[in-house]
Structure 1
Amino acid sequence: MVTSHSEVSDSKVDLSPLRNFRFDLPAGLVVFLVALPLCLGVALASGAPLLSGLIAGVVGGLVIPLVSRSPLSVCGPAAGLAAIVLAGIQQMGSFEAFAAVVVVAGVLQLVLGLSRAGGIVSFMPSSVIKGMLAAIGLLLILKQLPYALGLPGGKLDFSPGALAGIHPGALALGVVSLAVLILWEQFKPKRLAVVPSALLAVVVATLLNEVLRAVAPSLALGTGYLVTLPVDGAASLVEQLRSPDWRVLGQSGAWVLAVTVGVVASLETLLSLDAVDRMDPYHRRTPLNRELVAQGLGNALSGLLGGLPVTSVIVRSSANVNAGGRTRLATMVHGALLLGAVLLAGDLLRRIPLASLAAILLVTGYKLAKPALFRAMYSLGWNQFVPFVVTIGAILVTDLLKGIVVGLGVALAFILRNHLRAPYTLRHEGDRFVISLKGEVYFFNKASLLQALERLPEGSVVVVDGSAADFIDHDIIEALGSFGHAAPQRNIRLEMRDIGRTPAMVA
């Protein structure tokens, strides 16, 4: 459910968890339905036991919110870490050894939070963050489209015979789910406004598939097209828990890997939080240092229980926002349902069509990468549009972290180019030339400033005015002083205003 503008603008809205249970409960249900297959999918992509993904999801939903103060962020195993986890397990030799690395990475995050390192995300350009969100939206669409079409193995195939592999039942349920998602938001009755469209779509698709089992078995979806759970009951859960192998910490490579996991997980969390806070209709801001502490505790516990690394994840957080979640209670509802699903409701969950869950994520992906966003970024000019597009392309070609690094590099290149432009004006007033410095004048502006001075005719009177400058680098002051010493040889008289004094200028 999407919060109305009237509610958002009302400054008297009580945002305490207990007062918003009617919003957070259905939102938590939606996030749970989205998170369940993602937890399993990330574990599968990481080469880890499937249960490790569920453990990370439960820890992210039940433990981290107790410490975190993020109202809308949902934590769990992140697809962006899958490649690192896969390589890390192979490097360490076993998942148990990697679990010990996860514990150390969590301790590192705890230290980063206590040392107040969370502010690093403030240096991230908005064009890169928006590019990250759009890229995740496009990745969601690309990765979920095969499930919505019922393609074997959930793989998108562009070969000529690919259409023959489409499961008509999955396609039908996917289309029905999309229709429910779109139409419910447009025409839902006011009395049922609290029911999120995503939850309704899952219920409708599941019931339709049960009907197909009875009347048209050839169209009904079988096991390969439904949610899969690796455990069934508490006894099965306890049997599959993995304990960390602490012996691996005697290897230097384990510590290097722990630093890598800790730093990357922290960056992904901080970037995700910044993006989620931008989506918050109530404009709340998450205390980042406290969040790092919460993430550190969560990862340490996840590793101890044999779970994957945990981060704040944008997909589940976006689903939470779109479903109308308001407080941390929605995240905890999703965590409790994950735990309850593993212990109590395995048979029921195994009836949910993946095509219906894919439809939810397709809509979420569209909202993150809608055409209006591209038009808005283009209207802001090349300085914003190019880093935005490059970030998207780099993430699609590589992965989340590498793509962000590439996008950040391009954004910094534009920033540097803008700073290299002459931060001064030159005007001729009678018998004097006035150079007015403006904004921030750094050492890399020295060359263009000296070139302007060298082009002045002999016998000139030059006034360099720094009254409009916010900052003048010491290198600039030294260069002006050196020019002032050499100026009499060309019969040039140099005057300084609000520049400062250096030994070169005094001499």
Structure 2
Amino acid sequence: MKIFHPLKTLTNYSPSLLRYDASAGLSVFLVALPLCLGIALASGAPLFSGLVAGIIGGIVIGTLSGSELSVSGPAAGLAVIVFDAITKLGSFEAFLVAVVLAGVFQLALGLLKAGRFSGYFPDSVIKGMLVAIGIVIVLKQIPHALGRDNDYEGEFAFQQLADGENTLSEIYRAVETMSPGALIISVSALLLLIFWEKLAKKGINFFKVFPGALAAVLVGVGLNELFRAVAPNLYMGRSATQHMVQIPQIEAGQSLFSIFDFPNFAELNNPQIYIVGITIAIVASLETLLNLEASDRLDPEKRVSSPDQELVAQGVGNILSGLIGGLPVTSVVVRTSANVYSGAKTRVSAIVHGFLLMGAVFLAASLLNRIPLACLAAVLITVGYKLAKPEIFVKYYREGFNQFIPFIVTVLGIIFTDLLVGIAVGTVVGILFVLYTNSQSTFRVVRTGKDVLIRLQKDMYFLSKPELKEALRELQPGDRVVIEGTHAGFIDHDIYNMLLDFRETAHSQNIQYELKNVGLKKHIGQPKKATQEATVTE
């Protein structure tokens, strides 16, 4: 396992890696651009605030991150919280104060080493999250690929805020109202991406270096401009401007600072500000830690990220985002996945994507607003498929139900609710299966005539109590019983008391009964010689 410090990565950066990171950064930029705008729209915030969060997430958090591949930006999982908070607080400027406070809280969590809690999520749940996100991406992008854009880009909840539909009914509506122009663009871009990846795998250098996502976007723009010239009825920007990327443009003569929003710190005397800040900090930190675990699973080099350093980076990022009018920032699965599958090697790819977002705002808004969402939908569908390949389901099924059930529960929970609810349900089920698995074969009974050895083979948690109680009940008068606990580093208090209490039962049934190396507190360092032993003989 390899752990890297960000400054070491950047100061010792090899130029030979730049072609991979620049290409991946460009691909992530194309994915992030509509997501930043869509999440801002879904949050009831200015469109520019989503781009600010994306820029901060790329440049600032990308530089300070505890991960080489994680990419940060505005998160769909916070959209409902943000929307409600802006409504309750009365203004976006008041909400920005809560974002700054959330960053301060996250910074404190990182300095207090709270990132260690990310290790408590079962692996099957993390993998289930990745697969579920992949499926949701595909399902959510199908309507955009067909030209229906009633739902915001970046919304991943099953029940849609924008139009009252859900993920499945939205697909049905999209098929009903399908736009031929969007279908031609999305299918062409999707076929190009498949073709591009196959040629890249064959080792053809051009297809390895030039991003397939950019090629798909160029094809989408080219087809749409061709439609405008020769088939206006297919042109996607004709009446449905919402189907195009919509970067806010700086008008001639408009001051640069006039497009930013700034926090109103007079609101610090409002107690609701602190409640919102803590809520954002907790939810954003949870999403970040989950994605950090996921990014480590996806990393081809199997590097190990620092969750504490990531929380510090997120804290700094949210402080800055709030100060200049941005949405809350978290590490995000979709952008991270796109980064990995685009061949990124280091954090430089995330930084590149941040600078490209900045350039899009200040230099190329009018040009990028010619991109139809149908071609970007094709790019996201390929990312989603890679996250949710059918062989992953087969793999987890073959690993047994103790792995498959938490995995599939997490997948279904996220698809039919949202990310946080699905993760919570999957984690609870995963923990229950861990406890159940640990309760199996925790002791062994060996009988030779009247001599009975009950050997505690590993830690004894409360779930083992019924089975052990049944073993004690089956002992016969005249048995000579030894309960040997050398290998049990921990014995639950209830089980320990049950073993002690059985002395009275053993005495009344003429059973010789001995506890050997069985103690209550061996797991906190009590020497084995000091553990309590009991011998009861007729």
Between 364-373 and 423-432, the greater mean CA deviation after superposition? 423-432
Q: Taking structure 1 as reference, are residues 506 and 301 closer, same or farther at Cα in structure 2, changes over 3 Å only?
A: farther
Which residue of 454, 470, 473 corresponds with 2:492? Answer: 473
2:220 alignment counterpart = 205
Q: Is the 8 A contact 1:459 1:492 kept in 2?
A: yes
How many positions carry a matched residue from both structures? 494
Q: Does the alignment pair 1:231 with 2:249? A: yes
Which digits, 9 at most, give the CA deviation of each residue in 1:154-182, with x for residues without a partner? 58756987545211111001001001100
Counterparts of 2:101 and 2:276, CA distance in 1:
9
Between 145-154 and 80-89, the greater mean CA deviation after superposition? 145-154
Q: Taking structure 1 as reference, are residues 125 and 467 closer, same or farther at Cα in structure 2, changes over 3 Å only?
A: same
Identity of matched residues, %:
49
Which residue of 334, 337, 354 corresponds with 2:353? Answer: 334
- Partner SS, residue 30 of structure 2: helix
Between 476-485 and 404-413, the greater mean CA deviation after superposition? 476-485
Counterparts of 1:159 and 1:284, CA distance in 2:
38
Q: Taking structure 1 as reference, are residues 277 and 162 closer, same or farther at Cα in structure 2, changes over 3 Å only?
A: closer
Q: How many angstroms does 1:225 deviate by?
A: 2.2
Which digits, 9 at most, give the CA deviation of each residue in 1:422-443, with x for residues without a partner? 5212121122111111111124
1:25-36 paired onto structure 2 within 5 Å: 25-36=22-33
Counterparts of 1:327 and 1:190, CA distance in 2:
23
2:431 alignment counterpart = 412
1:248 alignment counterpart = 267
2:99 alignment counterpart = 102
2:38 alignment counterpart = 41
1:91 alignment counterpart = 88
Counterparts of 2:190 and 2:461, CA distance in 1:
54
- Partner SS, residue 476 of structure 2: coil
Q: How many angstroms does 1:249 deviate by?
A: 2.6
1:72-83 paired onto structure 2 within 5 Å: 72-83=69-80
Counterparts of 1:81 and 1:202, CA distance in 2:
28
Counterparts of 2:86 and 2:215, CA distance in 1:
39
Q: How many angstroms does 1:27 deviate by?
A: 1.1
Q: Is the 8 A contact 1:60 1:74 kept in 2?
A: yes
Which residue of 141, 156, 165 corresponds with 1:144? Answer: 141
Q: How many angstroms does 1:197 deviate by?
A: 1.2
Gaps (5+ residues) in structure 1? 1-13
Q: Is the 8 A contact 1:24 1:325 kept in 2?
A: yes
Q: Is the 8 A contact 1:148 1:358 kept in 2?
A: yes
Q: Is the 8 A contact 1:423 1:439 kept in 2?
A: yes
Counterparts of 1:31 and 1:162, CA distance in 2:
26
Which digits, 9 at most, give the CA deviation of each residue in 1:21-45, with x for residues without a partner? 1111111111111101000000111
1:291 alignment counterpart = 310
Counterparts of 1:161 and 1:344, CA distance in 2:
37
Q: CA RMSD in A?
A: 2.2
2:330 alignment counterpart = 311
Which residue of 250, 254, 264 corresponds with 2:283? Answer: 264
Q: Is the 8 A contact 1:57 1:77 kept in 2?
A: yes
1:81-480 paired onto structure 2 within 5 Å: 81-154=78-151, 157=169, 163-188=175-200, 190-192=204-206, 193-222=208-237, 223-232=241-250, 235=254, 237-421=256-440, 423-480=442-499
Q: How many angstroms does 1:502 deviate by?
A: 5.7
TM-score, normalised by the number of residues in structure 2: 0.87
Q: Is the 8 A contact 2:514 2:535 kept in 1?
A: no
Counterparts of 1:15 and 1:23, CA distance in 2:
16
Q: How many angstroms does 1:265 deviate by?
A: 0.4
2:513 alignment counterpart = 494
Counterparts of 1:51 and 1:377, CA distance in 2:
42
Q: Taking structure 1 as reference, are residues 360 and 107 closer, same or farther at Cα in structure 2, changes over 3 Å only?
A: same
Counterparts of 1:379 and 1:422, CA distance in 2:
21
Counterparts of 2:316 and 2:118, CA distance in 1:
20
TM-score, normalised by the number of residues in structure 1: 0.92
Q: Taking structure 1 as reference, are residues 506 and 307 closer, same or farther at Cα in structure 2, changes over 3 Å only?
A: farther
What amino acid sits opposite 1:371 in the alignment?
P
Counterparts of 2:23 and 2:170, CA distance in 1:
37
Q: How many angstroms does 1:389 deviate by?
A: 1.4
Q: Taking structure 1 as reference, are residues 506 and 238 closer, same or farther at Cα in structure 2, changes over 3 Å only?
A: farther
Which digits, 9 at most, give the CA deviation of each residue in 1:353-407, with x for residues without a partner? 1101000001111111111111111111111111111112221222211111111
Between 451-460 and 247-256, the greater mean CA deviation after superposition? 247-256
Between 121-130 and 382-391, the greater mean CA deviation after superposition? 382-391
Q: Is the 8 A contact 1:100 1:248 kept in 2?
A: yes
Counterparts of 2:436 and 2:461, CA distance in 1:
12
What amino acid sits opposite 2:449 in the alignment?
G
What amino acid sits opposite 1:220 in the alignment?
Y
Q: Is the 8 A contact 1:15 1:326 kept in 2?
A: no
Counterparts of 1:473 and 1:259, CA distance in 2:
36
Q: Is the 8 A contact 2:143 2:170 kept in 1?
A: no
Which digits, 9 at most, give the CA deviation of each residue in 1:80-135, with x for residues without a partner? 11111111111211111111001001000000000111111101001111111111
